[in-house]
Chains A and B, each alone.
Chain A
């Protein structure tokens, strides 16, 4: 091809019109950062675990993306995937709960707001639960509670560490008190895991609130959080509206919790797998201690 031909055949590239630009973003080729507005090639954003390379903003991630980010390839063995919610209260608000469930299942391809199973992080076998905020705001009803409890019980049997990645608005109102009791149920299962001197790492991601905060999220032996994640018990609006208190700027952020002693460390998502592997390594004794067993005070008389 002569240079002349090359010029002749060269696609006519003009600067993209605004409309075209927007179409390309809409097509998903590029992703605009929700925080700083920077455009990142979507594939690159995914390679960076959906953390904006410009400003470090952590874009929301789906549970299956989490699994891919954290686990060694082809090690995921899901458990209890087929557990689904029924509608024991026949709950109807502006829409029947059963219909909401069907819509959510269709939209997310998930049966409920958490995926649980076993896998390996840098060759360390772990029991892993990943909540999915896209499914009814990651709310905890019977299915989330039951899946976590079964996972923790199986991990206790198999003497494996548990890692739970939290993302939830709290208890699922549509299952009423059944949802509230999942807080106690999951806490009980984690208590037995703890009593067996096994490691539980809880990872708080944006957002972790309500009944999930007041149960398994805050029960980690070690608690990690993603930068700027919203973490709290009561909703910010509830506090503002009912009590008319002025809220500190960084109130209920990961950084606020770190400052007040409720989080061990803040770990950017890009470092999460590395940090977890490091923690797991540090909990793998080179030679198992003999005759030493720490007994949790509450269990002395049991």
Chain B
């Protein structure tokens, strides 16, 4: 674990950090005194792994929210840079804006040209301010749509990586028609005759996530979340108390296993021990393999079939009693 990553420690990760420090102390002492403690150390490392496994296998929804928002969690551009052979970022909605919170461009993935779009959070405070914390504006959704139409015309499969607290709630965004921009994307994404794979890599924040979230396959990382409203927002409205976010996180059923059970996502991508931020390389490998698998399967279908199946997929979503 490098010093940079240590800077952010979630409360339930604390026992792990303490154990890690102890192991390091013992190693240092051993080095100084020349006593062989390798048995003791390997036992401790084993315990450490076990504890990590235990902690991360029984995360509460509230803890998963924290993992999904972890400042060290790999971002869209991290994954793109790590898994593609080529990457050319493109800019602009051709209507007067280019949104740094939603990036897109051409890439070569496993030898195939694809279009990749995704929300982009910052890796530090300064970049977060520039990226608006991954909260996209209408210009971002319109840029995404422009690029998706392009992909449709040139037969490029589309991959979207979802990681946003939500669409930007600001004056400028409202003035430029945030609702309209998202609505049009929802409608148009059903009319693209190319494969679309959507992956929730971190935080799937409501309409801002769904604005690039209509696809043939919806994948989700194990510790990612996808919710109709933030737990804090939900608690403020329904409990009239934003400190009840833990209860709201539980009630909203926003974890990957919950959503798989509800039939709203297709596949969960397992995360490395200690979540994606603990081992970004392995997380990237998992993502790349899942994308190539799904692409291979979707490539066998023609455009009309893709669009029909995509419609039917979303058509089934919802639970009602009839009669």
Interface residues of chain A, those whose CB is within 8 Å of chain B, are: 80, 82-86, 88-89, 91-94, 141-143, 145-146, 149, 171, 173-185, 187-192, 194-195, 210-211, 213-219, 232-235, 238-239, 242-243, 245, 247-248, 251-252, 260-262, 296-299, 301-302
Contacts and interface: CB of A to CB of B under 8 A. Distances in A.
B12 interface: no
Given A83-B320, A94-B239, A234-B173, A262 B251 contact: no
B214 to A, nearest CB: 5
Given A182-B317, A234-B174, A239-B170, 17 more contacts: A82-B323, A85-B321, A94-B239, A173-B228, A175-B228, A180-B207, A188-B187, A213-B179, A213-B183, A214-B211, A234-B169, A247-B171, A248-B171, A260-B175, A262-B180, A298-B152, A301-B153
A233 B206 contact: no
B75 interface: no
Dominant secondary structure at the A interface: helix
A86 B279 CA distance: 41
Given A184-B186, A195-B191, A251 B174 contact: yes
A30 B25 CA distance: 82
For the complex of A and B, 6 pairs with smallest distance between CB atoms: A234-B169, A213-B179, A142-B318, A187-B186, A93-B238, A233-B179
A84 B175 CA distance: 36
Contacts of A188: 186-187, 190, 214, 310-311, 314-315
Interface string B237-248: 111100000011
Contact of A190 (B187, B247, B315): B187
B201 interface: no
Contact of B190 (A191, A218, A245): A191
B184 interface: yes
Given A248-B171, A301-B303, A191 B187 contact: yes
A86 B314 CA distance: 19
Contacts of A178: 262, 264, 317-319
A25 B170 CA distance: 41
B239 A93 contact: yes
A183 B153 contact: no
Contacts of A233: 167, 169, 173-174, 178-179, 182, 207
Given A173-B252, A177-B226, A216 B183 contact: yes
A301 to B, nearest CB: 5
Nearest to A82: B323
15 contacts: A83-B322, A88-B319, A93-B251, A142-B320, A173-B252, A177-B228, A214-B211, A233-B182, A243-B170, A245-B170, A248-B171, A296-B191, A301-B193, A301-B303, A302-B193
B311 A251 contact: no
A149 B187 CA distance: 13
A39 B312 CA distance: 53
A174 B177 CA distance: 27
B70 interface: no
Contact of A210 (B192, B207, B240, B322): B207
B229 A173 contact: yes
A264 B307 CA distance: 31
B254 interface: yes
Nearest to B145: A298
B191 A176 contact: no
Nearest to B218: A181
B228 to A, nearest CB: 4
Which of B153, B191, B264, B310 has the most CB atoms of chain A within a 10 A radius of its CB? B191
B255 to A, nearest CB: 11
Contact of B188 (A91, A181, A248, A298): A298
A93 B229 CA distance: 14
Contacts of B187: 187-188, 190-191, 194, 219
Nearest to A94: B239
